[in-house]
Amino acid sequence: MKNVFSKDDVEAMSYNSNVRYLIEVSNKRAWLVSFIFGFIAIMSIIAVFLLTPLKQSVPYVIRVDNVTGMVDIISTLKDQTVVSKNSEALDKYFTANYVKLREQYYWDILEQDYYTVQVFSSNRISAEYQKIYAGANSRVKNLQNSVEVEIQIISVVLTNSAGANVATIRFNEIVKDLQSKTSKQTTKVATLTYEYVKELTTEKERIMNPLGFKVNTYRIDSEIAR
């Protein structure tokens, strides 16, 4: 059979075939690249989704020693609800620390102790505490900067009465006369009720008292000699 296609026709068809082949190869490469990038995008979304629960702010309760200034972490807060409210160790720490701050007397840190005690006190107890430092016969005017009062905690006993948390703290009160270099020691007993509240009024209070510890009643008695 005689070939009806000329040389030019053959070359044209060969050229068209090559172009079609190149287009098909290019399309396959384009689909492959698109698939790879699509797969990477999907994997990235999945990775972000899996890592999101791990990326969160975790606040810590930090305790600062009033004397040494050393800082240590008490516990971690999971949410706005206080963790370990029923922890005996925390209750003993806060109640004993409250008595120490309230009963001690150091001229150089008196203002700091005065404010801190009020942060840890309910409104009624705070008002009663302020009266100690008010008036002509206030504690400041009687002691001034010539006397120091050191508090040594002896024991802390936690109980519950009519649904209220009660702490009984025995402590030694050592009154030091800085001029005569003499001192007098007395053993006393502090009885207080306390709770943990969620609402604090200021940012400064939340920083100083992150667990919301509040004293609702407070009484001091001299220990009866046996």
Evaluate whether 221 touches 193 at the Cβ level (below 8 Å).
Answer: no
Written as one string, the DSSP assignment of 24-60 is HHHHHHHHHHHHHHHHHHHHHHHHHHHHGGG-----E
Residue 101 shares a structural domain with residue 191: yes
Per the confidence metrics, is the pTM higher than 0.85? no
How far is the C-alpha of 69 from the C-alpha of 129, rounded, in Å?
25
Do 174 and 182 touch, CB atoms closer than 8 A?
A: no
Q: Residues in the chain with pLDDT < 50?
A: 77-84
Please tell me the predicted confidence (pLDDT) of residue 23.
Answer: 74
* Residue 75: predicted pLDDT: 53
| CA neighbor of 157 nearest in space, from 145, 146, 144, 168 | 168
User: What CATH number is attached to the domain comprising 192?
Assistant: 3.10.450.230
Phi, psi (degrees; rounded to nearest 5) at 80: -70, -20
Instruction: Please compute, for residue 148, the number of CA atoms within 13 A of its CA located in the half-sphere on the CB side.
Output: 13
For residues 110 and 46, membership in a common domain is answered with no
pLDDT score of 223: 84
Instruction: Give backbone dihedrals phi and psi of 78, rounded to 5 degrees, phi first.
Output: -85, -35
Domain that holds residue 137: 82-222
As a whole number, the mean pLDDT across the chain is 82
Q: What is the pLDDT of residue 35?
A: 77
Contact between residue 195 and residue 180 where contact means Cβ atoms under 8 Å apart: no
Total domains in the chain come to 2
Token digits of residue 172? 């030694």
What DSSP character marks residue 223? P
pLDDT of residue 50: 74
In this prediction, residue 26 carries a pLDDT of: 73
Domain identity same for 43 and 96: no
Residue 66 in domain: no
Return the pLDDT at 202. Answer: 78
pLDDT the model gives residue 83: 45
Q: Is residue 61 assigned to a domain?
A: no
